[in-house]
Amino acid sequence: MLTRDDNELLSRVGPGTPTGQMLRQYWLPCLPSADLPDADGAPARVRLLGEDLIAWRQTDDSVGLMQNSCPHRGASLFFGRNEENGLRCVYHGWKFDTEGNCVDMPNEPAESNFKHKIKATAYQTRERSGVIWAYMGPLANPPELPYLEWNLVPTEQVQISVRLQECNWVQAVEGGIDSSHVGFLHKWFGDERNERGVSNMYRATDLQPRFEVADTDYGVLIGARREAGDEGYYWRITQFLLPFYSMIPPQGVNPAIGGHAWVPMDDETTATWTVGWHPTDAINATNRNQNLSQTMRLVEQYGLDPNVAGVLPATTQPGGKWRPVANPRNDYMLNQQVQREKLFCGIVVGRTQDQAMQESMGPIYDRTKEHLGASDTAIIRVRRRWINSAIALRDQGTPPPGALEPQAYHVRSVSQVMKRDVVWAEEARRLMGVQPGKPIYAV
Ligand code: FES
Ligand SMILES: [Fe+2]
């Protein structure tokens, strides 16, 4: 459990909060490029770390990101005219560039220099491999984007989707690094997938893996150890990368790797980015390791809504394109018959299963009430890294781990059988580095 103060410290992300300041030291995934498709096209509302912002793609294709509220008298720049490399407020015509400078003030006398005194809050952006990133931190020259492999491979080798999640970012990340729920929440009854393949066999035969954690420069290695008989131990090694990324261990032959980024929109809303990537091959139905076709067969068999994995009609509100059809208002489309016959939890889409559990804890979970066990080792360690990082920044000005070291993010997750006397974290460090042509280590 956490004290009330620590829980509060961890959960709040707005300007001036210790964790909010810590998060602002990192580049943040802001929008998929596809959400801002056209130069001089419609601006998009963005909410990031509790701030209401407006994003627009300029004439020269660069992306601006500034406060939504016009510095003149507060009208929303969502209604603004996106023209000639700037965003012009339609109320009185003030125009802004990507640095937040007022470059035109047509309702003031021509000889006035008032416009030079106006500076809006604006943030730097970068765009790579279909993702627009934002930097809300203090540095005029921030480091490069993190060398996450999914953000470096050609776009056909990566698959990205974003969903809005109605809860605090911490419980979403905690769900993502909590390996012990996988054998329960995501379990299919009588499905050959439970027994198929070496990794599934180890997972099926050892239901109480032992969890170990090791700190890294950028986060935490999370090892789940299972018995592998004469071979030794089967290790599934998840990466947690500060401030909010995970990489799930790959499995099978020539698999893609999956991961997440849980980006806080505000204290009670999170943008859940799901990524899948392959280092050498285009992403396809075989290597992306998703079970959507199996889910859709279930949908057909039980006469469920075929749009169960889809999104609601787009709105122009922040995250308005990312709202899942299955949500708390319809109990995530839980089906009791499916729960009795097919799935441990009865919610048919895998990611919705996670979403339902994490949101059902309430908008901001009160961790003074929880009871953590041995299977929660990773969660305990990651919380400690977050809290220590936020306090070190607040009290000593120390940049949090990885924030200034983009190269540190050039890693993969791993699953391997190792001899019993091998030091798993050392072996993992050997296997997990990213190099061109280096295979993914997975069984
Ligand atoms: S409120 Fe925007 S120009 Fe007046
Ligand atoms: Fe899960």
Q: How many CB atoms lie within 10 A of CB 301?
A: 11
Of the candidates 81, 92, 40, 90, the residue with the CA atom closest to the CA atom of residue 63: 40
Structure tokens at 433: 């580095």
| Eight-state DSSP code of residue 56 | E
| pLDDT interval class at 78 (50, 70, 90) | very high
The answer to whether 193 and 289 have CB atoms below 8 angstroms apart is: no
DSSP codes of every residue in 83-98: -SSSEE-TTT--EE-T
Closest approach atom of ligand 1 to CA 93: 3
The answer to whether 41 and 34 are in contact (CB under 8 A) is no
Which atom in ligand 1 lies closest to the alpha carbon of residue 89?
Answer: 2
Mind listing the pLDDT tens digit for each residue in 151-194? Answer: 999 989 999 999 999 999 999 999 999 988 888 999 888 765 55
Which of 281, 273, 241 is CA-nearest to residue 411?
Answer: 241
Terminal Cα-to-Cα distance of the chain (whole angstroms): 35
Cis ω for the linkage preceding 32 (within 30 of 0): no
Q: Higher model confidence: residue 243 or residue 439?
A: 243
More confident residue, 111 or 356: 356
Give the pLDDT score at 201: 72
| pLDDT in the model for residue 291 | 61
Q: What is the DSSP secondary structure assignment for residue 211, as one 8-state letter?
A: E
Model pTM score:
0.95
For ligand 1, whether the C-beta of 92 sits within 6 Å is yes
Residue closest to 353 by CA, chosen among 203, 176, 158, 196: 176
Q: What is the pLDDT of residues 256-303, one digit of tens each?
A: 899 999 999 999 999 999 999 998 889 876 666 556 778 888 999 999
Banded pLDDT at 437 (limits 50, 70, 90) = confident
- Considering the domain delimited by 27-135, tell me its CATH architecture: 3-layer Sandwich (2.102)
Question: How far is 346 from 332, CA to CA, in rounded Å?
Answer: 10
**From the CB of 73, is ligand 1 less than 6 Å away?**
yes
Q: Is the CB of 89 under 6 A from ligand 1?
A: yes
CA of 352 to the centre of ligand 2 (A): 9
Domain residue ranges of the chain, discontinuous segments joined by +:
27-135, 149-432
Q: Rounded to whole angstroms, how far apart are CA atoms 235 and 224? A: 6
Amino acid at 282: A
Long-range Cβ contact pairs of 101-108 (< 8 A, separation 24 or more) = 102/71
Mean pLDDT of 5-13: 98
Instruction: Check residue 401 and give left, alpha or beta (phi > 0: left; psi -120 to 50: alpha).
Output: beta
Per CATH, domain 149-432 is 3.90.380 = yes
Give Rg (Cα) of the chain.
23
Amino acid identity, residue 426? E
- Enter the tokens of residue 75: 């009208």
Per-residue model confidence as pLDDT tens digits over 214-233: 999 999 999 999 988 888 99
Whether ligand 1 lies within 6 angstroms of the CB of 94 is answered as yes
Q: Which of 351, 237, 367 is nearest to 290 (CA)?
A: 351
| Cβ 356 under 6 angstroms from ligand 1 | no
**By C-alpha distance, which of 342, 329, 340, 356 is closest to 295?**
342
Kindly indicate the confidence band of residue 208, based on its pLDDT and cuts at 50, 70 and 90: confident
